[in-house]
Amino acid sequence: MEDEARELIAAARAAARHAYAPYSGFGVGAAVLLSDGSVITGANFENASYGLSLCAETVALATTSARGRLADVVAIGVIGGIIGPSGPAGSDPVSPCGRCRQVINEAAQLGGRDVRVHCAGAEGDECRSYLLSELLPAAFGPRDLGLA
């Protein structure tokens, strides 16, 4: 695993320990790398009204936006696993859902870069890395509205 992916996966795993997932029992963590090297994390936050739940990637990117840094996103690490007594567990890599891919695309287009997405499990060394354009080809976003 390359250094960038290793750092983001470690930060996402730390964030996932704070996941609030009483309904699915599946904890997800995300870590966003900004152009200055800083990292912003998020964990999933479920709700009894399931449609109001927030994915970890959305939480991390909303925090990034609240800090005025959405256009500075360079990469994101995502992990997930079934929540056990010591936090999320499982080694199969998890990738962002379709909604999160669209949310990541917003930052990617605003920043004018093809954001790297590093996907891993809650445990283990396997990591799959993609460019967002591979995960969401022909994406609709700010560019289509003349905003990026």
Spatial contact of 78 and 105, defined as CB atoms under 8 Å apart: no
Annotated catalytic residue within 46, 57, 123, 126: 57
Spatial contact of 132 and 114, defined as CB atoms under 8 Å apart: yes
Would residue 134 show up in a list of annotated catalytic residues for this protein? no
Phi–psi pair at 23, nearest 5 degrees = -95, -45
Closest C-alpha among 40, 50, 44, 7 to residue 28: 44
Q: How far apart are CA 80 and CA 19, in angstroms?
A: 10
Question: Known catalytic residues?
Answer: 57
